[in-house]
Amino acid sequence: MSQDAQSAPRPKDAEHIDLIETYFDANAKDWSDLYSSAKRVNDLVLADRKNASVRHLAKHVGEGSYVLDVGCGAGMTAIDLMRLGCRVHGVDISSKMLDHARENFEQAGFDPKRWELSCAGLFGAELESESFDAIAGLGFLQYQDDEAAALRELYRVLKPGGTLVITGPTQRKFANWLGMARYYYALRRRVSRLLKPKPKAPPQPASKPVEGGSEEVLHVISTHAYSYGRFRRLLSDAGFEVTSCKGHGYVNFEIIGRRIGSRGELFLHRAFTAVAKVLPIGRWANDLIFVARKR
């Protein structure tokens, strides 16, 4: 590792890192299958988020470009990048996810010289400074204990003029009624207790996963959510010049989600996506897709 590399995560972060690794190891197959055999509206939206991000990268990379896919998972973004002629270095903390990535690369027939995989966190991957033409960071930043340090590390390994495409979940979104859903649930619980006190119910099984695993675990390990302004400031403070931002996805609607079903949710996703083309509502989508450049 070069001398100007960021330090490794602090010991107090080890429990959080272990939880992330355990979650993605346990759900690796679901994540690998997500893009090819979507089972829920959320799967379709995540696949489209990947496609939109690759379209942004395609404007800046080409034959022979060297791209870092940080938090690469099962390698589906990397496959699209290799189809553009890029060489890809995928980094992920989950060994099971990387097993699926290798299998997917081999099934796609890519020359092993075109790709490399590192089972490590960002700071443990020993990446050389200014070695990548572009970086893809889809669904990566929200799991980092220190977002600012992670972005500085991405800045360090990116070549001057290189492009970063990075996503993160929005803090207030239409799906959670701009953050008001939690107050609705709290009020409903309080009214229920006042009207009809009930004995404590036995623990219930985890609800259907949002992204290939338990909602409860996913909520614990995904420790950050973003407003447009805070995400932009984090990138700017790390040295990046933001060139564009777009909101993406309108799914997992709280309060009404179970009542409207998959068809209703798909209708709302498409309706809000259409409205976002003419009105600036993207900052309240499920995710923000930022494109930034190293100055």
Residue 288 has pLDDT above 90, yes or no: yes
Query: How confident is the model at residue 250, as a pLDDT?
Result: 95
In a domain, 3, yes or no: no
Residue 27 has pLDDT above 60, yes or no: yes
Residue 28 belongs to a domain with what CATH number? 3.40.50.150
In a domain, 196, yes or no: no
Which tens digits make up the pLDDT trace of 135-178? 999 999 999 989 999 999 999 999 999 999 999 999 999 999 88
Q: What is the DSSP string of the chain?
A: --TTPPPPPPGGGHHHHHHHHHHHHHTHHHHHHHTTS--SHHHHHHHHHHHHHHHHHHTT--TT-EEEEET-TTSHHHHHHHHTT-EEEEEES-HHHHHHHHHHHHHHT--GGGEEEEES-GGGS-PPTT-EEEEEETT-GGG-S-HHHHHHHHHHHEEEEEEEEEEEEBSS-GGGTTTTHHHHHHHHHHHHHHHS--PPPPPPPPPPPSSSS-HHHHHHH----B-HHHHHHHHHHTTEEEEEEEEE-----TTTHHHHHHHHHHHHHHHHHHHHTTSS-GGGSSEEEEEEEE-
What predicted TM-score, i.e. pTM, was given to this entire model? 0.82
Query: How confident is the model at residue 216, as a pLDDT?
Result: 47
In a domain, 197, yes or no: no
Which tens digits make up the pLDDT trace of 67-124? 999 999 999 999 999 999 999 999 999 999 999 999 999 999 999 999 999 999 999 9
In a domain, 173, yes or no: yes
Where in the sequence is the domain holding 17, given as residue range(s)? 11-177+206-294
Q: How many domains does the chain have?
A: 1
> What contacts 205, CB < 8 A, 6 or more positions away?
none
In a domain, 131, yes or no: yes
Mean pLDDT, the chain, whole residue set: 85
